[in-house]
Amino acid sequence: MIITDILTGALRSGTSVMLASQGELISERAGVINLGMEGSMLAGALGGFAVTVWTGNPWLGTLSGGLCGLIISLIHSFLVLSCGANQLATGLTIMFFGIGVTSFFGRSFVSEQIVGFNPVPIPILSDIPFIGDVLFNHDPLTYLSILLVPVLWYVLFRTRLGVIIRAAGEKEDVLFASGINPLLVRYCAVLAGGFLAGVGGTQLSVAYTHSWVENMTAGRGVVAVALVIFASWRPAMAMVGSYLFGAAQALQLTVQQQGWPISTFFLFMVPYLLTLAALLIVERRKRSSMPEALGNVFSADAGG
């Protein structure tokens, strides 16, 4: 069934973006925008792939991918938080750096093959017609990413830790007055974001495509950042947006298979156009729910 295929593909394709956008969500909630997510994702994709090739263990690969993503975001957090650099410009440079670094180190992996993660159908549940295929026939990382959403929601909105993270992004002096250092909170948030982006990248190379190609994320990191805005900084909406993006990608395959007369290139464009459209629609709402600290990054002059 076409719809089933698209939905299943939406989840599989969207997971990498979803992980990155959940990570970016944490970072932005704390007040830091990280356009370098693209770099973190690529680092994770390559790192995870490489370690999986070397050790044959995709879980080890996942951990390494996450760490690679974290290291990249460490550069961003250092430059932005400790050196006071402009967030947008730094993020872009990191993106550029990430593409360059991974292209370079990834040369020898381009034709490697791995087993990686394969879809693991959940017994019984995956036999349910329609829903079974769509929801319960995925690789382990996708399952984990779905579980991440309620966990993240819980931490952000039901624990004091979440209050602290959000306070860093809203009114850091109130946080400081409570004896907690906002800078530290931001560092942790950005690093956590980088880790998740790295894992997202790993899912892309180790679970989705089982290969490494240079610049394979093709802007997913950027989309992830845009989706966080679209989602009004809420985990559930970020998930929806990511799967929408995934669906647009899955649509490409379906169109090709079905032989519909839509240009593939137009389909390639759709995910990005969709993201733009989504951003436009929520523009009104965005102003009120944006973490205050981000407002300065966006609305101020190009200054840092």
Partner 1 sequence: MDRKHPGEVLLRTSGLTKRFGSLTANQDINLTVQAGKIHAILGENGAGKSTLMKMLYGVYAPDDGEIIMDGEPVVLHPPMKAKAKGIGMVFQDFRLIPAQTVLDNIALAVGKGWRFRRKQLRERIMEVSAKYNLAVNPDAYVWQLDLGQRQRLEIVKVLLMPGTRIIIFDEPTSVLVPQEVEAFLQMLMLLRKNGYGILLITHKINEVMACADQVSVLTAGKMVFHADTMEGLTPEQLIAAMMGDKQITNVEKLDTGAADEQEVLRLEDGEIVGDHGNTVLANVQLKLHRGEIVGVAGISGNGQRELAETLFGLRKLKHGMLTVKGKGISGGPKAFIDAGVTYVSEDPLKESVIPGFTILEHMVLDGMPVKEKRIGIDWQGARQMLEASEEAKALRLADLNRRADKLSGGNVQRMVLARALMRKPDVLIISYPSRGLDIGTTRTIQQHLLDLAARGTAILLFSEDLDELFKLSKRLVVLAGKQLSGPYDAAEITASEIGTLMLRGESA
Partner 2 sequence: MKAGTSLTVMPVRESFLSAGRLRKIGLTITVFLAPFVLYGLFLLCYEVNPIELYWSMLKSTFGSLFGFGEVLLKATPILLTGLAAALPARAGLINVGGEGQLIIGALFATFAAVFFLDSAPSWVGIPLMLVFGALGGAVWAGIVAVLKTAGRMNETISSLLLNYVATHTVSYFVHGILKDPAAFNWPYSPQISWQLRLPTITGTRLHIGFILAILLAAVVWFILSWTKLGFNIRVLGGNKLAAQRTGFRINWMYVWVLLAAGALAGIAGMIEITGIEGRLRSTTGVNYGYLGFLAAWMAWNHPLRLLFTSFLLGMIAVAGNTLEIGSGLPASSVQILMALVLFFLMGIARRLRS
- Cβ proximity to partner 1: between 60 and 163 the closer is 163
- Cβ proximity to partner 1: between 179 and 259 the closer is 179
- Cβ proximity to partner 2: between 82 and 159 the closer is 82
Q: Which does 175 bind (CB under 5 to 8 A by kind): partner 1, partner 2, none?
A: partner 1
Least distance between partner 1 and beta carbon 228 (Å)? 16
Q: Residue 288: what residue type?
A: S
Please compute, for residue 172, the number of CA atoms within 13 A of its CA located in the half-sphere on the CB side.
Answer: 15
Q: Which does 229 bind (CB under 5 to 8 A by kind): partner 1, partner 2, none?
A: partner 2
Least distance between partner 1 and beta carbon 301 (Å)? 9
Q: Which does 174 bind (CB under 5 to 8 A by kind): partner 1, partner 2, none?
A: partner 1
Q: Which does 261 bind (CB under 5 to 8 A by kind): partner 2, partner 1, none?
A: none
As a three-state string, the secondary structure of the chain is CHHHHHHHHHHHHHHHHHHHHHHHHHHHHCCCCCCCHHHHHHHHHHHHHHHHHHHCCHHHHHHHHHHHHHHHHHHHHHHHHHCCCCHHHHHHHHHHHHHHHHHHHCHHHCCCCCCCCCCEECCCHHHCCCHHHHHHEECHHHHHHHHHHHHHHHHHHHCHHHHHHHHHHHCHHHHHHCCCCHHHHHHHHHHHHHHHHHHHHHHHHHHHCCCCCCCCCCCHHHHHHHHHHHCCCCHHHHHHHHHHHHHHHHHHHHHHHHCCCCCHHHHHHHHHHHHHHHHHHCHHHHHHHCCHHHHHHHHCCCCC
Least distance between partner 1 and beta carbon 225 (Å)? 20
- Cβ proximity to partner 2: between 86 and 232 the closer is 86
Q: Residues interacting with partner 1, by CB under 8 A?
A: 158-161, 163-164, 166-167, 170-171, 173-175, 177-179, 289, 291-292, 303
Q: Which does 184 bind (CB under 5 to 8 A by kind): partner 1, partner 2, none?
A: none
Least distance between partner 1 and beta carbon 162 (Å)? 8
Round to whole Å and give the CA distance between 194 and 176. 25
- Cβ proximity to partner 1: between 57 and 159 the closer is 159
Q: Which does 223 bind (CB under 5 to 8 A by kind): partner 2, partner 1, none?
A: partner 2
Least distance between partner 1 and beta carbon 296 (Å)? 13
- Cβ proximity to partner 1: between 173 and 261 the closer is 173
Bridge-based pairing state of the strands 137-138 and 120-121? antiparallel
Q: Residues interacting with partner 2, by CB under 8 A?
A: 35, 75, 79, 83-86, 88-90, 92-94, 96-97, 99-101, 103-104, 107, 218-219, 222-223, 225-226, 229, 263, 265-266, 268-269, 272-273, 275-276, 279-280, 283, 298, 300-304
